[in-house]
Amino acid sequence: MSKQILITEIQRFAVNDGPGFRTNVFLKGCPLQCRWCHNPETMGELPDIYWKRRLCVQCGECMDVCPNSAINPPTPPDVTRMPESGYQKIIRARCDLCMNCIKACQYGALSIVGKPMSTEEILEEVEKDRPFYNNSGGGMTLSGGEPTAHADFSIELLSLAKQKGIHTCLDTNGFCSWTAIQQMIEHVDIVLFDLKHIDAANHQKKTGVSNIMILKNLSRLSETGKEIWVRIPVIPGFNDTIDFHIRTAEFLSNLPGTVSRVDLLAYHNWCQDKYDWLGMDWNMKEVEATEPSFLEIPADIYREKGFTATVGGSGFESPEKMVKSQ
């Protein structure tokens, strides 16, 4: 069996991450720390522990088996479930991930985030959905986290998928060496390239890294002839201005090669439970979700530049929302 990598989820019947029905494989670990991240469980490369307060009966069994005093004493469940409760079961700074607490929990309140899987094990799961790929034009999307952070593993997985005749998409933030992307796209049908911001200072402030390498990689990728879908998560107070979209559309239109389409992805805060399960404070949980229809106006900016543009990125987008300006 090949090397194993931590997988947070294999999501079936996805329709927003490439054409047709897709099976999304989420690798754990990402070099960016986006303030709005909708998948916080994929950020770190080590396993994590979810604690779900609504399932916890505060029996104390987890505290009894913890060797590091990393479990807070039981508190009445109705108190911990109150909206204003700041109670957390795990003292994360003391936890060494021995997982004794998870074994002791009889109620499913504690669970591991990050399952080690080999490429063979992943593809065994992916192939279960082959009938849906055949009927919809779908396939496997490799996501995260960030697949290029595990370049060798991702290359092997994508290569094996192509050998089995599975359509492949790579979802990447582009923060990696050009060599990693170059080797990976040999086994990829479509690259889903996440573009957060084109301004270096704003990008650094909200993601923790510079965008210089990202923009260079997108430029070089555009010259390869590979099909590229640029995906822009539209975040309130970060990149939701008309000026941003005008500048970004201009940047994309001046790339040396071509981009197949631009997907505008509306911000949502439905992931706030995940932050709570991980014991993380999320300062964007009170930011209201963006109504997708509001993105039709900026989408027209890209259409006017000749791009196919969608709101939501669905592989089943209606023809009238995938208009390409003539």
SS3 sequence of 137-190: CCEEEEECCCHHHHHHHHHHHHHHHHHCCCCEEEEECCCCCHHHHHHHHHHCCE
> How many CB atoms sit inside 10 A of residue 324's CB?
11
Q: What is the pTM of this model?
A: 0.93
**Residue 316 pLDDT:** 58
For residue 76, the enclosing domain spans 48-113
Question: In the predicted model, is pLDDT for residue 305 greater than 80?
Answer: yes
Quick one: average pLDDT of 201-208? 97
**Residue 238 pLDDT level (bands cut at 50, 70, 90):** very high
Note whether residue 94 is domain-resident.
yes
Mean pLDDT of 74-86: 94
Q: How far apart are CA 157 and CA 176, in angstroms?
A: 18
Minimum mean pLDDT among 242-256, 268-282, 302-316: which range? Answer: 302-316
What is residue 27's predicted lDDT score, i.e. its pLDDT? 98
Write the pLDDT tens digit of every residue in 1-52: 579 999 999 999 999 999 999 999 999 999 999 999 999 999 999 999 999 9
pLDDT given for residue 326 in this prediction: 25
> Tell me, what CATH number does 127's domain have?
3.20.20.70
Residues 151 and 70 in one domain: no
Determine the pLDDT at residue 97: 96
Predicted local confidence at residue 2, as pLDDT: 73
pLDDT band at 83 (very low <50, low <70, confident <90, very high): confident
Residue 318 banded pLDDT, cuts 50, 70, 90: very low
Domain shared by 141 and 85, yes or no:
no
pLDDT in tens, 119-136: 999 999 999 999 999 889
- The mean pLDDT of 105-114, rounded to a whole number, is 98
- Looking at the predicted structure, is the pLDDT value of residue 71 above 90? yes
Q: Is the pLDDT of residue 324 over 70?
A: no
Q: Which residue has the tokens 């490799």?
A: 142
How high does pLDDT run on average in the chain?
94
Q: How far apart are CA 233 and CA 228, in angstroms?
A: 16
- Looking at 84, 113, 142, the residue that finishes a domain is 113
184 and 233 inside one domain: yes
How many domains does the structure of the chain reveal? 2
| Residue 163 and residue 294 in one domain | yes
Average the pLDDT over 239-244 and give the result. Answer: 98
Residue 87 lies in a domain: yes
Q: Are 132 and 204 in a shared domain? A: yes
Determine the average pLDDT of the residues in 198-222.
97
pLDDT, tens digit (0-9, with 9 covering 90-100), for 186-199? 999 999 999 999 99
Residues 243 and 316 in one domain: yes
Higher pLDDT: 315 or 261? It is 261
Q: Say whether both 31 and 54 belong to one domain.
A: no
The pLDDT assigned to 321 comes to: 38
Q: To which H or E segment does residue 62 belong?
A: helix 61-65
- Has residue 223 got a pLDDT over 60? yes
Residues 72 and 170 in one domain: no
Neighbours of 254 (CB within 10 A): 9
Q: Given pLDDT bands bounded at 50, 70 and 90, which one contains residue 313?
A: confident
